[in-house]
Structure 1
Amino acid sequence: MSAINYDLTKIKSFIFDIDGVLSKQTINLSADGEPLRTANIHDGYALNLAVKLGYGVAIITGGNSDSVKVRYESLGIKDIYMKSGIKMNDFLDYIKRTGYKPEEIIYVGDDIPDYKVMKAVGLPIASNDAAHEIKAIAKYISPKKGGEGVARDVIEQVLKVQGHWMSETAFGW
């Protein structure tokens, strides 16, 4: 039922990087140098559904963009760590505040700053176009590239295994 070789019934929380995971690896820049990131609509639906179903959903990113914060807050995500210089520090804050155990958490990353957090969680996942070092430690490599449905792929598989994918909650925004 799932391409992920992990007991997905354990999963209670999802954590995502932005650049290269929820957004494409290449970005346009505005006239003032602000990165203009992409957002996948199917990812947005899956993220919002996970929040509505009571899963923990967090963002840990080194970036700092008001548009990113607005987008993901509009989907119901409250745990958004921006300007994360050392992602492990924000991960430790997240588990301390929420009480989730590492084996209950999926972390999806694509590059070296994600490495330590990916080593700490139960289910580290990489986007298809992730750095070699990240793919080497991932327990699952999504067939999707960053910004092209990685979150949807991962969340859908978990919700299907847990019997929540086509629940009544799934039929609305």
Structure 2
Amino acid sequence: MKALFRLFMLAVTLPALFAGCSEKVEPTPLTYSQILTGTEKKAWRMVSYQIFDNGKSDGVQNAQNLFAPCEADDQYVFYANGEHKFEYTNGPSKCDTSEPDVIFEDSWTLINGNATLEFVIPVLGGKFPWTIRNLTENSLTVEYFFPDIEASYRFTFNSTTR
């Protein structure tokens, strides 16, 4: 009887001892900000745009149609630092050799609850609250809905950081 009791106690306590020794590894999904910035910073280039007016659009347009060829490769750089640094930088081709690499600096804001990303798109002349339509490791699509009219601008960017 004692042997059976010892065997029972061993069967109950042994698994309890080893249960505390194992570490359960659970993957952590990337957040919007991690996808947007990478681990330190991530650069994006505008590749297309679409204008909606009263629910109608002429379709997706090549973003290079908005810019001079020397501006079409400019990049939007989002930093993963606490200040949420944002840079608009010259791409590989500059319009003038005296232009700085960083055209201007600002900050970005992300509100996960409604997937709103605030940053500057220079061609529009200001910082706007963009609704994130799509965000993957390689593609970002944002849209701004005008508050007083039934119209919106949609821009798609591709990551240039590999």
Q: TM-score, normalised by structure 2?
A: 0.24
Higher relative contact order (CA 8 A, sep 6+): 1
Higher helix share: 1
Which structure has the bigger radius of gyration? 2
Return the structure number with greater strand share: 2
